[in-house]
Chain A
Amino acid sequence: AQKVTQAQTEISVVEKEDVTLDCVYETRDTTYYLFWYKQPPSGELVFLIRRNSFDEQNEISGRYSWNFQKSTSSFNFTITASQVVDSAVYFCALSEAVGGGADGLTFGKGTHLIIQP
């Protein structure tokens, strides 16, 4: 069975600081997909990134970057020069299949990120 661990329940930093949200996963499949979602107080889930197990390249999107390391089963998320608008709960999630025959997502417990002005 798959599992996603987000050990950081809450992180509070001052605006403009860099912050890294950790995600460690467990799966027996060789093919899987990892996701990060942002959940603002309104509740909707905002998709941030999807990465498949065969693509270990790190990704950068503006102030956001992701570090995927299969050797440590980690998929960490870094926000550079954080802003107050980044305050939200962030979820890491895992799926062992997407598309035809898709499985539901297994979510971590989430990290509540607070950016103080």
Chain B
Amino acid sequence: GAVVSQHPSRVICKSGTSVKIECRSLDFQATTMFWYRQFPKKSLMLMATSNEGSKATYEQGVEKDKFLINHASLTLSTLTVTSAHPEDSSFYICSAPDSNYSYTFGSGTRLTVV
């Protein structure tokens, strides 16, 4: 079946640095990628939607300058957390709609900013 490969699975970074998270669709083309954020013991909240070749659409309250999304090809979407701070520590997970009219999720990235 469709697979979305997400890397890294876990990252610890210093406050003020930037972190890039990659999601690659394997065996299918992902023209759209959804990015979610999950705080500990909380639900998943949609942050933004990226579409190949166009600007990402951000949900209300999500800072586009802090969470840079690039969807340069049909198989790769990236989320860069810029100038990360401890409050950005969270679980980030991507998802792409696949040809079976369902969603394929990456395995998630646990970001810790110290």
State the A residues within 8 Å of B (CB): 33, 35, 43-45, 47, 50, 91, 95, 98-99, 102, 104-110, 112
Is B80 among interface residues, defined by CB-CB distance under 8 A?
no
Task: Give B31's nearest chain A residue, CB to CB.
Answer: A100
On chain B, the residues within 8 Å of A91 by CB distance are 43-44
| Cross-chain contact B34 with A47 (CB below 8 angstroms) | no
Nearest Cβ on chain A to B32's Cβ, whole angstroms = 6
Interface 9-residue window, one of B14-22, B68-76, B89-97? B89-97
Is B107 an interface residue, CB under 8 A from the partner?
Answer: yes
Select A98's contact among B36, B41, B43, B101, beta carbons within 8 Å. B101
Cα of A109 to Cα of B38 in the assembled complex, Å: 10
B contact face: mostly helix, strand, loop, or mixed: strand
Is A104 touching B34 in the complex (CB atoms < 8 A)?
Answer: yes
Contact A109 B97 (CB under 8 A): no
B101 lies within 8 A of A105 (CB): no
- With A35-B102, A104-B34 already in contact, 16 other A-B pairs whose C-beta atoms are closer than 8 Å: A35-B103, A43-B107, A43-B108, A43-B110, A45-B93, A50-B101, A98-B101, A98-B102, A105-B34, A105-B36, A105-B46, A105-B95, A107-B43, A107-B44, A108-B43, A109-B42
Judge if B49 is at the interface, Cβ distance under 8 Å: yes
Q: Which 4 residue pairs of A and B lie closest in terms of their CB atoms, listed nearest first?
A: A102-B97, A104-B46, A104-B34, A98-B101
